[in-house]
Amino acid sequence: MVIPVHDTDPARRTAWVTYALIATNVVVFLLMPGLAGSVAGESSLAQLCHLEAFLDRYAAVPQELIHRQMPRMVPTGEVAVGPQGPGCVVAPPTYDKSPELSVLTSLFLHGSWLHLLGNMLFLLIFGNNIEDRMGHVRFALFYGACGYAAAYGFALLNAESAEPLIGASGAIAGVLGAYLVLYPKARVWVLVPFLIFLPLRLPAWLVLGSWFGLQAVYSAGEGVSDAGAVAYAAHIVGFLIGMLLAWPLKPGTPPPPEPPGLLFGRQARPRQTW
């Protein structure tokens, strides 16, 4: 998987919504219970139980989204010792959970620093151009629509799953799909892991097309041992919805300008637009 670091398509306006989304995701992650222990790799049982209770309340759960079946017993965040040793206490829920609202809150929850930083990197690089093209309000609505479509699409394919679904990946996949439609010829600087991280400037259609292809392969359970731990199907749905919603804007999108910068230490040669 290549790591994008910069695109060469300049934005005309400040991406306030993109920056606000990134800031909100970071703040929410820092406030999530059990974070301190997980960062140090020393999470206690109490921290894990607290985190489990938090996710059960605020994360989207496919079973709840499709069947609207709320669990009769949920973690309370407390620890007790039972016949099989210490464990998390479960009890009837003391709160009313809205499955529809849980999709929104789940978009700002992440399971690790790697999960968070990977998502925010893609949002930072590609989100500003889509916000620039759509405008602030429409981009915010577009981001939410892609997130909801990804969550419900994944839930339809996993209707009996009770595993929490968290992360902004589905919404950000929609941003990537829109970028592919609107700016396929833009150049993206990426780091390619090949013994060392090799910097390359590649067309967006190649970077994002290969990303989508990997999600499709991983969704089928090929090439990864933890396919069930990552909602690759949500990435696919979000990406396709992003393409669909961005398609009406395609005729009015100006082609991205060719950057005059350097390429591998040598002046880039003029080339025809394709």
Q: Per the confidence metrics, is the pTM higher than 0.75? A: yes
Cβ pair 150, 171 in contact under 8 A: yes
Coil, helix or strand at residue 267? strand
Using CA atoms, how far apart are residues 71 and 67, in angstroms rounded to an integer?
A: 11
* Whether residue 42 has pLDDT greater than 80: no
Q: Do the strands 74-82 and 85-91 form a parallel or antiparallel pair, or are they unpaired? A: antiparallel
- Label residue 264 left, alpha or beta by phi (over 0 means left) and psi (-120 to 50 means alpha): left
Question: For 112-164, how does the pLDDT look when each residue is reduced to its tens digit (9 = 90+)?
Answer: 899 999 999 999 999 999 999 999 999 999 999 999 999 999 999 998 888 99
Using CA atoms, how far apart are residues 188 and 170, in angstroms rounded to an integer?
A: 21
Question: For 46-76, how does the pLDDT look when each residue is reduced to its tens digit (9 = 90+)?
Answer: 888 888 889 999 999 999 999 888 888 888 8
Of 203, 180, 187, give the one whose Cα is nearest residue 261. 187
Least confident among 95-104, 117-126, 152-161, 253-262: 253-262
Q: What angle do CA 26, 32, 37 make, to 5 degrees?
A: 105
pLDDT of the residue at 152:
95
Cβ pair 94, 199 in contact under 8 A: no
Question: How crowded is residue 51: how many other Cβ atoms within 10 Å of its Cβ?
Answer: 21
pLDDT category, 81, cuts 50, 70, 90? confident
39 versus 265: the higher-pLDDT residue is 39
